Amino acid sequence: MRQGGLHVSEILTQRIIGDALAARLITDVRKSWPELTDDLGARGVAQLEGYLRASASSVEPLTPSLPVDLFWHALLLRTRDYADVCELVAGGPIHHVPDDAEGCDPRAGREAIGRTKEAMRAVGVEPDADLWPGEGSAECSQCHAGCSDSPNGPKK
């Protein structure tokens, strides 16, 4: 199966965000997260890649962790780069869908994060424990406090 001109196995083994863009994203995220180290920033970019790969292959809406969402927002603001990344990984846009609902449903948030972690593992990416809430965490996910990917978009 081909997506964006690449065979799926090629997409899963290559980085989709190059060093220069990764450095810009880390710099952008550091504006709201000044304690972000270079190492954790690089891991955040890698987790964003995994999240986008999982989103491209899932028919269910997925949600990033709060830290990974910071990297997604930074990439979204770089619209040309975001379009290029989405084309590579999904063959088209991965829509960012804010959740305008008030409040937080911890159970639904845990379910959404759990579903996302499983989808990431299914595409060969292990969620980084420093960037994703642990099992049973009461932290609300962005799905129920802000953002998810679109179950529509290029997904078939």
What is the rounded CA–CA span in Å between residue 83 and residue 31?
23
Q: What is the pTM of this model?
A: 0.80
C-alpha to C-alpha distance for 30 and 17, rounded to whole angstroms? 18
Residue with tokens 């804010």, as numbered in its chain: 98
CA distance 156 to 4: 14
pLDDT at position 106 is 79
What is the domain partition of the chain in residue ranges? 2-149
Determine the average pLDDT of the residues in 125-141.
76
For residue 33, the one-letter residue type is W
- Give the separation between CA 42 and CA 129, rounded to whole angstroms: 14
- pLDDT range class, residue 105, cuts 50, 70, 90: confident
Confidence of residue 149 (pLDDT cuts 50, 70, 90): low
Mean pLDDT of 131-140: 67
Distance of alpha carbon 28 from alpha carbon 48, whole angstroms? 14
Structure tokens at 145: 């406090």
Whether the pLDDT of residue 74 is over 90: the answer is yes
Average pLDDT for residues 55-80, to the nearest whole number? 95
**What would the mean pLDDT of 2-6 be, rounded to a whole number?**
41
pLDDT band per the 50, 70, 90 thresholds, residue 155: very low
The confidence band for 102, taking pLDDT boundaries of 50, 70 and 90, is low
Q: If DSSP codes are grouped into helix, strand and coil, which group holds residue 65? A: coil
Q: What is the mean pLDDT of residues 109-132?
A: 94
